[in-house]
């Protein structure tokens, strides 16, 4: 692999996702807000990350907690206003942090003025801004497409006698990106925030934004079985990942790049769930690039064992175009927390994996504390996906619980009962408590992030997988003359070290000369 010395900030750095509803409440309503984020930015800066990504803050009825946008160029009063956003942006920049917004281009709220107009009748000037179709000959939906939240992806409008498409809730109608006016309006919205100084966007469900012409039925998924989300009963061949969407992504990239003349690149991170070959196409080409980072969720989706991860890492790296920069995620507002999936001992190993693999890592708020499983009582469930398809383990509330800051009432998050329950061990698992403990998960994350900053081998170096004992994942990172090796024990048993060297960091503290303890990860400087 040819080394480069011109890595932009988004290749060298680390992104930290903030779910605004659950970060810090400043006004006593039980829901986080922008003033709360501003108050807690020192925690983020002290971690050692380079950028924050805010989940949606736009005006919204909150049917899907902000992913149903009613105005792309304002802030929901629940979170504050444009002035409070400007203060957060300035405060982040003062601390050397970039700020990314969550842009939602596939759909709006049904209360967005565009859709309100579109719904007035077939002769509305905004009718073609959304996807309306006549019923099938039997009077039913135009095709068999299934909403990601279950049920038909089509909603009947009795006034006009047509159906409109919604890939998610019926209150989230899909925009028609084949209409040039829609594209122009959405690009104007992106410009609004770029002109305001944001450093880029995480783009929600980017691979959804264009649908196949003619709207053919999606084929059945032969591997589907009851107990899996209803969406997966079909293969989304015609409702996602269309060639025209790639062209739009390339135009988005050109827009973002046009704001990089000051030497501070604006970054586009695309939410894209696809197999490696299709996923890699979202980088575009050298002469027509698309998103900088198509999000890679494979550390969330794969079994947690060394053999599986090794195979997955090798296949993902091999799938990348020569100009494509990798990226990794172990947690998000949509997935069960890493400590809930693999347990706290392995969550420490996962932290070392995330922050030493080649590529840009994204951290999710609270994972730096090792927050684990949080049971949400039935009467506290807020997630529409869980409410529509209960009992199959797809609820997202479990990862959206409030940040525990200290031992004060309601964990210092709020002065009242928060909108979702806190983690049950918040009295001891909170930021203040872990700051006092040099062996805490928070301390481990800070050490790992500091190592990334001081060792180019970890931030931008090449990577080579190494042989190791069963249950151990090992690899080498190299940049120039600097070489570091990583050995991760993904088992509950001690394992022989795969190589000799000086220990730079252990996830358990201390070190032994020839053994990886159970659930231990180590970074080594190899013996010369």
Q: Which residues are part of the catalytic machinery?
A: 204, 271
CA distance 136 to 139: 5
φ/ψ of 348, rounded to 5, equals -70, -40
φ/ψ of 34, rounded to 5, equals -70, -40
Angle formed by the axes of helices 243-258 and 180-196, to 10°?
30
Question: For 401, which DSSP code?
Answer: P
Q: What does the block give as tokens for 337?
A: 């927390």
Scored b (16 or more CB within 10 A) or e, 391-430 reads: eeebbbbbbbbbbbbeeeebbbbbeeebbbbbbeebeebb
SS3 of residue 524 by DSSP: strand
SS3 of residue 476 by DSSP: strand
CA distance 403 to 364: 11
Strands (E) across 348-430 are located at 360-364
DSSP string, 326-358: PEEES--SSS--HHHHH-HHHHHHHHHHHHHSS
CA distance 186 to 182: 6
The stretches of 357-470 forming alpha helices (DSSP H) are 384-388, 431-435, 441-454, 456-459
């Amino acid at each position: 692999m040819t080394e480069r010395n011109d890595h932009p900030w988004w290749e060298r750095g680390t992104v930290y996702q903030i779910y605004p509803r659950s970060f810090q409440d400043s006004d006593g309503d039980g829901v986080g807000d922008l003033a709360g984020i501003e108050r807690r930015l020192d925690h983020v800066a002290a971690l050692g990350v380079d950028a924050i990504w805010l989940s949606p803050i736009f005006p919204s009825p909150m049917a899907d907690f902000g992913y149903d946008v009613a105005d792309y160029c304002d802030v929901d009063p629940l979170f504050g206003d444009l002035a409070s956003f400007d203060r957060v942006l300035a405060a982040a920049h003062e601390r050397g942090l970039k700020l990314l917004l969550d842009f939602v281009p596939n759909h709006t709220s049904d209360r967005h003025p565009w859709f309100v107009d579109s719904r007035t009748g077939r002769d509305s000037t905004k009718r073609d801004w959304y996807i309306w179709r006549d019923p099938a000959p039997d009077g039913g939906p135009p095709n068999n497409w299934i909403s990601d939240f279950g049920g038909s992806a089509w909603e009947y409008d009795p006034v006009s006698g047509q159906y409109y498409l919604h890939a998610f809730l019926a209150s989230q109608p899909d925009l028609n990106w084949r209409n040039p006016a829609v594209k122009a309006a959405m690009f104007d919205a992106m410009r609004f925030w770029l002109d305001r100084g944001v450093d880029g966007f995480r783009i929600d469900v980017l691979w959804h934004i264009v649908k196949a012409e003619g709207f053919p039925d999606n084929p059945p998924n032969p591997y589907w079985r009851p107990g899996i989300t209803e969406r997966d009963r079909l293969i989304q061949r015609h409702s996602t990942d269309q060639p025209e969407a790639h062209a739009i992504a390339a135009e988005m990239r050109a827009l973002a790049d046009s704001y990089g003349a000051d030497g501070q690149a604006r970054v586009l991170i695309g939410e894209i769930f696809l197999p490696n070959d299709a996923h890699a196409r979202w980088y575009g080409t050298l002469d027509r690039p698309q998103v900088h980072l198509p999000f890679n969720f494979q550390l969330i989706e794969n079994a947690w064992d060394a053999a599986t991860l090794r195979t997955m890492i090798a296949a993902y790296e091999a799938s990348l175009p020569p100009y494509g920069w990798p990226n990794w995620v172990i947690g998000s507002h949509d997935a069960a927390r890493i400590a809930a999936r693999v347990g706290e001992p392995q969550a420490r190993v996962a932290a070392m994996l995330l922050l030493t693999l080649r590529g840009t890592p994204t951290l999710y708020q609270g994972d730096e504390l090792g927050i684990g499983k949080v049971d949400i009582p039935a009467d506290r469930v807020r997630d529409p996906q869980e409410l529509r398809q209960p009992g199959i383990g797809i609820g997202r509330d479990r990862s959206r619980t409030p940040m525990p800051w200290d031992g004060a009432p309601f964990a210092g998050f709020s002065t009242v009962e928060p909108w979702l329950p806190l983690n049950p061990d918040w009295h001891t698992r909170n930021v203040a408590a872990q700051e006092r403990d040099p062996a805490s998960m928070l301390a481990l994350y800070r050490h790992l992030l500091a190592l990334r900053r001081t060792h180019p081998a970890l931030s931008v170096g090449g990577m080579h997988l190494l042989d190791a004992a069963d249950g151990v994942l090992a690899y080498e990172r190299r940049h120039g003359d600097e070489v570091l090796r990583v050995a991760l024990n993904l088992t509950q048993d001690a394992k022989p070290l795969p190589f000799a060297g000086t220990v730079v960091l252990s996830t358990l503290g201390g070190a032994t000369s020839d053994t990886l303890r159970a659930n231990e990860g180590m970074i080594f400087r190899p013996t010369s």
